[in-house]
Structures are given as structure tokens and as C-alpha cells.
Amino acid sequence: MKILVLGGDGFCGWPTSLHLSDLGHQVTIVDNLSRRAIDLELEVESLTPIRPMGERLRAWKEVSGKEIGFVKADIATEYDRLVGILQDLQPDAVVHFAEQRSAPYSMRNPGAKRYTVDNNVRGTHNLLTALVAVGLDAAVVHLGTMGVYGYDWHGQSSPIPEGYLTVKIPTPEGDIEREILHPTKTGSVYHTTKALDQLLFAFYAANDQLRITDLHQGIVWGTQTPQTVQDERLINRFDYDGDYGTVLNRFLMQAAIGHPLTVHGTGGQTRAFIHITDTVRCIELALDNPPDPGERPSVFNQVTECHRVEDLAELVAGLTGAKIAHLPNPRREAVENSLVVSSDRFLALGLEPTPMSDRLLEESTEIAQHYRHRVDHSKVIARSVWRSGMETAPDFSLDEANSSAAPNTGNQQGS
């Protein structure tokens, strides 16, 4: 297949591009390099050393003999270029990762909120409009998020279904059964954009018969895939800062430098996880199984296991000997939640989940320990808050921290 990967320079986009290229597909990456630009803005870098795109692609050619195309373009602001790319390449499928993907970043300040909405909604809508305008019947695979669902719809034991929910609507003539797009309850501007995307997908699938798959992904952990591990120039991102670093990466980084693991709130929040090798395999499965024209968007839950944050901290502490510290929670969310997620669709298509228990030690030693000399100690405490005036990290954790944790000079949150 000819596959366009929008956002192919990012944490999920890059290993997906390599995986699809390795499978023999003709892959072209379109990316505005915004993830690198945000690193510059936040004054932070991936723990792993990320090479320029040209070097990444040359290394992949050396290692695999395969070529991946690259176009530097911004699908949110350069609509005409997007149309030109679609016309020139006539892709069979488009994988759409080209969105701002950090919830804390999306809440930092008015500019970040506006950027997240403008970039994500415009990018998605430009893609849909362009496919219709070009008349291209390419399958679209989009990365959504588990965060669209919210956590209190189903009681304690009923799993979150995949995208659609069967409900009964009471009427004078008795209950009517309907299958509806799952109601959303979003916890950040970022998560809200993925809920907006869903409604755009529903409209364009119905009106224009676009074939769209939306993947509601959990928190991705892990760094390497069978492709990225072949050469250090191909290595994938390991973000550990308070905005882009997800919970497990932050624990592993903290353990590697002897800092207490910072649990925000009680740690009773349960979240869904998936390893990056499973992510790229899921994209492959989604590409191989698109909906038919005229079908509603196909939604998969892209998740393999669920954990309480506190349990993850204990897992990493057990593996590394790190201590655990509790900090205020900057998010407006329930103190505790249970989470049971259906992910039957990918399992039925042959996904073989990578258990956290199998790979966590490797992640700790080969990534976090191996690159710990690259940690910026000012990024160890997360300080983005969900509303101005919310309590941020206190100093106690710094006092108690190992001496390798440099003092932090205060709240780095934007207005």
C-alpha cells in the first residue's frame, strides 16, 4: 500500500512509519516538526537522543534498504499543500497522528489551549475536506484517546465498549434501543479535541462515505520497537518532562536519578496502557481492516492493560528501590476511579499484547538508566495546572529528594 503518515516524526508516528515500511508498504511522512519545536519552547529534550529527520531516514535506508519519503508541511495551516500531496501521491491510506497530544501542555496557558484546538481540529478537518475535494477513497486511521470516554458511565464492572454504546431510551411506547456514539466526558482541552474529531468523522463518514477508523488509545509506554532498536539514530522518543512525559516514563526517569517517584493525588486513578510495539501493530491491523464506504467510523480501544497509578509507582519502586512521594493533583478529576476496557476487536484480529511485566525491566535499564546523564533536573517535578490558582508541587519533595535533584526555582506554569 501507499501510506501517508501525518505526524510521522512523533513518538507514535515514527515507529509506525518504520513498522509499515518494514512490512513493505510505500510510506511517506508529512510532518511540520512541531514536536521538536515544542521541545524548544519548553526547553526540554527527549531522554533518548533524537536525530534530525534526514539522518533518521538515511539510517533507515542503510539498515533496511528501504526508503521513506518526507514532506515538511503543516496540515492545519497549509491546506493547499495537503491537497497537492494527496493528488501527487494518491495514497491508499492515511494515518493521522498530526495533533498536539499532551493534556498538560493543552492546559498551560491561553496560547497553548488555542493552539491545541486550532491545530487539532483544523488539521483533522482539512484532511477530511481535502480527501473529499481530491475524490480520494483512502482509508483514514486516526489516533484518538481513551480520555474521550470519562470514567463513570458503566458502573464498577462493565467494560467501556469500543466507541459505541447501546442504550435504552424511555418513550411513552416503551424503551427504544439505540446504539449511540459513546458519550464523552473530557478532562482537558487536548482530550476535548479528540471528542470534536469524532463528530467530524461521523459527519464525513455519513455525508461523503469516507472510510475512517478512530483508535482510542491508552497511555503508551516503552520506547523501542524491533525497527527503532536496530540503530541508535533510529531511536524513538522518551519524554519525561511534566507536560509530555507520561506517568510510567516519569517514574522510570525519577528512579534512574534517585528521585522519589512523584504520585499526584492519591494515586487511585486507574489508567489504560499499551506498549509502543503493540501500538504500531494495532495501526497495521487497523489499516488492514478498514470500514466499507458508507459505514460509520470504526472505533477500536487500543489498550492492553489497566493499572492504578499507585500500583505502577510500587512496581517501579520494587524494580529500582526508589521511594514514592505524594504531590497535589493538578488535574480536575475524580480522586479514584476503576477502569475496565473492552479491547476485543484488536485481540480478535490477532494482537498479542506485550505485558508490562515482560518489558519494564528492559525499559528501566536500557533507556532510563542508560540515558540518565541526559536528564534535565529542572523537569523532574510537573508543574502545569488545570486552572490558575491551583496548588502546584510543594518544596518538600525537593528537600526529600536525593541530592542529584537540583532545586527547582518555582512554578514554571504560564499565566
Residues that bind a second copy (CB under 8 A): 79, 110, 113-114, 117-118, 121-122, 125-126, 129-130, 132-133, 135, 153-155, 157-158, 165-173, 175-176, 178, 180-181, 183-189, 192, 195-196, 199-200, 202-203, 206-208, 332, 386-388, 415
Cα–chain center distance at 95:
14
Contacts of 30 (CB under 8 A, 6+ apart): 4, 5, 6, 7, 8, 70, 71, 73, 75, 82, 85, 98
Q: How far is the CB of 106 from a second copy (least distance, A)?
A: 11
Q: How far is the CB of 265 from a second copy (least distance, A)?
A: 16
Q: How far is the CB of 227 from a second copy (least distance, A)?
A: 36
Give me the count of residues in the chain: 415
Of 24 and 110, the one with the shorter C-beta distance to a second copy is 110
Of 143 and 148, the one with the shorter C-beta distance to a second copy is 148
Q: How far is the CB of 415 from a second copy (least distance, A)?
A: 7
Longest dimension (CA), the chain: 70
CA–CA dist 72, 29 (Å, integer): 8
Which residues are part of the catalytic machinery?
145, 190, 194
Q: How far is the CB of 4 from a second copy (least distance, A)?
A: 18
Q: Are 128 and 200 in contact, with CB atoms under 8 Å apart?
A: yes
Of 164 and 369, the one with the shorter C-beta distance to a second copy is 164
Of 79 and 221, the one with the shorter C-beta distance to a second copy is 79
Of 199 and 361, the one with the shorter C-beta distance to a second copy is 199
Of 65 and 135, the one with the shorter C-beta distance to a second copy is 135
